[in-house]
Amino acid sequence: MALEIYNTLSKKKEKFKSIKKGKVGMYVCGPTVNDAPHLGHARMQIVFDVFRKYLEFSGYKVNFVSNVTDIEDKIINKANELGISIDELTKKNLNEHLEDYKSLGIKIPDIQPKATAYVKEMIEMIKKLEKKGHTYVVKEDGVYYNISKFKNYGKLSGINLDELKSKRELKDDTKGKGKKDSKDFVLWKFSKPKQPSWKSPWGNGRPGWHIECSAMTSKILGNPFDIHAGGQDLIFPHHEDEIAQTEAAEEKKMANYWMHNAMININKVKMSKSLNNFKTIKDSLKNYSGETIRYFVINNHYRKPMDFSIKKLDESKSSIERLKNLIKEIPKDKIENKKYLEEFKKNMDDDLNTSGALNLLWKLIRDKKAKGKYQTIKKMDEVLGLKLLEKETIKIPKEIKELLKKRKQARANKDFKLSDELRNKIKTLGFEILDNKSGQEIKKI
């Protein structure tokens, strides 16, 4: 079975065929670094990390590009709110994103461009659009894209242009009053006092959000490239506007396949910062390992919404622990089980059916007749990234280490009452002690 993925552009599953044999150019819209990352970011990062690793598993050489939006209205507003520079804010938040993604087993992008490093390319693309009659200037506001000049506007999202006015007003922070049509979007915003700005033929200002990705993808990957991906909430307006800009400027198709993961919900409402119902990755990592969060995400199909709950994270934690304990009993071998690997590929080729792949993994582990288990698990985990064969390394806080020393001394003094008290105190702090012949073993609860 050949790899098939759901293409948002065609609204159906399609056989994947790369532009260059054996090579894949892939762009995933990265974070806007105005704040710390939450579990919504985690889902997108994990989904496309798994897909990237599966492409590599399948023999492709992947050029994986994921940008960083380091200039945008939300960033400017947040920096002003905190009374710090934009540079200070974006550096701090980008480091948080990178640290948290590393904890989730995310492989770093091959290229991770920052929007501020590609302003020249953005201006050049706007100049191309201007020359072709796709833009106009609103005095003291900015340069706008005239969507009436692009015949296929709406082909990605399927949006009804008659309904677009209200949606654009909700999504576009600019809401330029001088626009020819309420549906038009900003390409270049003229600067206001104490705001970052760059020189341009139209006046000092900064790029609109949508032009950033169009310029970076065209410069780095060229057009068309193989896969453009991101969260479902980016289909409109961000990705729709990218297509309109890029295809009008370059007169080429932007990307062949568009992939989008569904959102994580809390009480059936999308997790987002704007709704203040989000849970940060860092907060989740205090109680759950990166592999637990990863299992929680890939145990669902990427195009289906997920409901977040502590109960489901606890279930994922138990599942990972059971998996690792069962794998400990499997002897190391040097052969692979071709039957199970073929089944694994079959699941993954079916539009990235990771939940089916996980079920197959459980089946393999429980199959008493299967040979080559160890090497086969190793191969599957190259894609799933659950670190199933690695011994878990626990970071023990300084406070816990001090309590462990005191308990060891109490046991040496045969003060078992104090020893038990210290054990219980350690347990309340999230760690459990297992006494064995070799001494004390500690694990995170």
pLDDT digit string, tens, across residues 360-403: 999 999 999 999 999 999 999 999 999 999 876 667 788 888 88
60 and 116 co-located in one domain: yes
pLDDT given at position 159 = 86
Q: What is the CATH number of the domain that holds 223?
A: 3.40.50.620
287 and 353 co-located in one domain: yes
**130-to-142, 144, 202 alpha-carbon distances in Å:** 13, 10, 11
246 and 305 co-located in one domain: no
305 and 165 co-located in one domain: no
Report yes or no on 68 lying in a domain. Answer: yes
Amino acid type, 45: Q
pLDDT given at position 174 = 47
Report yes or no on 206 lying in a domain. Answer: yes
pLDDT given at position 265 = 86
Q: Which regions in the chain score pLDDT beneath 70?
A: 163-176, 267-268, 270-277, 392-394, 436-441, 445
184 and 102 co-located in one domain: yes
Q: Could you list the residue range(s) of the whole structural domain that residue 415 is in?
A: 398-444
| CB-CB neighbours of 11 under 10 Å | 9
**236-to-49, 170, 203, 254, 401 alpha-carbon distances in Å:** 23, 11, 28, 16, 51
342 and 300 co-located in one domain: yes
**288 Rama sector, left if φ>0, alpha if ψ -120 to 50, beta otherwise:** beta
Dihedral sign for Cα 307, 308, 309, 313, please. Answer: positive
280 and 252 co-located in one domain: no
328 and 439 co-located in one domain: no
pLDDT given at position 440 = 65
| CB-CB neighbours of 435 under 10 Å | 12
What's the number of domains the chain is made of? 3
Report yes or no on 20 lying in a domain. Answer: yes
pLDDT given at position 117 = 97
- Percent of the chain at pLDDT exceeding 90: 75
Last residue in a domain, options 240, 261, 282: 261
Looking at 263-415, which runs of residues are DSSP E strands?
264-266, 269-270, 306-307
| pTM attached to this predicted model | 0.87
